[in-house]
C-alpha cells in the first residue's frame, strides 16, 4: 500500500473511532455523509481501534494516545482530540473505600491510555501500592471491599452515583501537573494529504455546529450530555493540551516494556 495515501485513491481511507458518547460530536459529520467518497468509518471500543491502527488494518484512528510510543511512525492529524482540563467525568477510579485502603485495582479491558494514567497517578501522585489486575467484561461486579477499578466511557457515567468514592483521573492529573490531559487523538500510521486533513477537520467541526442534533440523536438519562460536551470534555487540540500530551508520552516511553493492559 502506498504510504502517501490520498483521497483520490480508489481504496477508501479506513478511519476507526470509538463507540462512546464522547466521540459523537466528532463523528457526526461523517455519519451525516461528509467525506463518504473518501473514507470508511469503523466503530469499536478504544483498545480494539488502537490495535487495528498498530496492525495497519486501518489508516487513521481516534485512538488512546498511550499507543503512540508503540507505533513505527505516527502522525497526529487535525485539530481535534478528546481531552479534559480538570474533571472529565467518564474516566474514573471507583471504590468502596478511600484511596489509602485500596489494595487492588482492576484495569478496564477497553482502555489503554486510562490504565497507563492510573498507574502514573498511583506511583507519582497518590503514592499508594495496590496490585493491578487485568479484567474481562463483567469486572464492575468485582468492585468491592478494598478492590477498586478504572472504568471509562459511558459505563463510567453510569457508575458515578453507585460508588461512594469516585476519583476522576483527569482531575488528578491536572492537580498533579497543572496541565490538561489528552485521552485520545486522531492518529494516522502514514502521511495524509493537506486537503484531506482540511476536509477531515471540517467534518469534525460539523458536530459542534449542530450540537443540538447530536444531543437529540443520543438520548442519555444518566448524565447531562450538553454539560459533558461543553464543560467536561475539551475537543480542541491546542498548545496546552499538546504540552500535557508530551509529558504523558514521555512517561509512557520510559515504561513501554511494562504491559499496560
Q: Are residues 160 and 187 in the same domain?
A: no
Q: Are residues 170 and 199 in the same domain?
A: no
**Separation between Cα atoms, residue 31 and residue 41, nearest integer Å:** 8
- Assigned domain for 151 exists: yes
pLDDT bracket for residue 36 (50, 70, 90): very high
- Assigned domain for 107 exists: yes
Percent of the chain with pLDDT over 70: 93
Q: Are residues 23 and 42 in the same domain?
A: yes
Which residue from 189, 193, 214, 219 is spatially nearest to 35, judged by alpha carbons? 193
Q: Locate cell 493540551: which residue?
A: 241
Please state the domain count of the chain.
Answer: 2
Q: Are residues 73 and 195 in the same domain?
A: yes
pLDDT bracket for residue 61 (50, 70, 90): very high
**Separation between Cα atoms, residue 36 and residue 27, nearest integer Å:** 12
Structural domain boundaries enclosing 226:
13-82+182-238+245-254
* Burial grade of 48 (CB within 10 A; 0-12, 13-18, 19 or more): middle
Domain ends where: 144, 177, 210?
A: 177
> What CATH number is associated with residue 131?
3.40.190.10
- Assigned domain for 34 exists: yes
pLDDT bracket for residue 10 (50, 70, 90): low
First to last CA, the chain: 30
Sheet holding 39-44, edge to edge: 39-44, 13-18, 60-64, 181-188, 75-84, 234-236
Taking residues 159-187, what's their average pLDDT? 96
Amino acid at each position: 500500500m502506498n504510504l502517501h495515501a490520498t483521497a483520490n485513491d480508489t481504496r477508501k481511507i479506513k478511519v476507526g473511532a470509538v463507540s462512546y458518547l464522547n466521540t459523537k460530536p466528532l463523528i457526526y459529520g461523517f455519519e451525516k455523509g461528509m467525506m463518504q467518497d473518501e473514507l470508511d468509518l469503523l466503530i469499536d471500543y478504544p483498545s480494539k481501534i488502537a490495535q487495528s491502527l498498530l496492525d495497519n488494518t486501518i489508516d487513521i484512528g481516534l485512538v488512546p494516545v498511550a499507543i503512540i510510543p508503540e507505533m513505527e511512525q505516527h502522525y497526529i492529524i487535525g485539530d481535534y482530540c478528546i481531552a479534559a482540563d480538570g474533571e472529565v467525568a467518564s474516566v474514573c477510579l471507583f471504590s468502596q473505600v478511600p484511596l489509602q485502603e485500596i489494595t487492588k485495582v482492576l484495569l478496564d479491558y477497553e482502555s489503554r491510555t486510562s490504565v497507563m494514567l492510573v498507574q502514573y497517578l498511583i506511583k507519582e501522585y497518590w503514592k499508594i501500592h495496590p496490585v493491578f489486575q487485568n479484567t474481562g467484561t463483567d469486572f464492575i461486579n468485582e468492585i468491592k471491599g478494598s478492590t477498586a477499578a478504572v472504568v471509562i466511557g459511558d459505563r463510567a457515567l453510569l457508575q458515578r452515583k453507585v460508588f461512594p468514592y469516585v476519583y476522576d483521573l483527569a482531575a488528578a492529573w491536572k492537580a498533579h501537573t497543572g496541565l490538561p490531559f489528552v485521552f485520545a487523538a486522531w492518529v494516522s500510521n502514514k502521511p495524509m494529504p493537506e486537503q484531506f486533513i482540511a476536509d477531515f477537520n471540517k467534518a469534525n467541526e460539523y458536530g459542534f455546529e449542530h450540537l443540538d442534533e447530536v444531543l437529540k440523536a443520543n438520548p442519555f438519562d444518566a448524565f447531562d450530555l450538553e454539560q459533558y460536551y461543553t464543560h467536561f470534555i475539551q475537543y480542541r487540540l491546542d498548545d496546552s493540551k499538546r504540552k500535557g500530551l508530551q509529558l504523558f508520552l514521555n512517561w509512557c516511553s520510559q515504561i513501554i516494556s511494562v504491559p499496560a493492559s
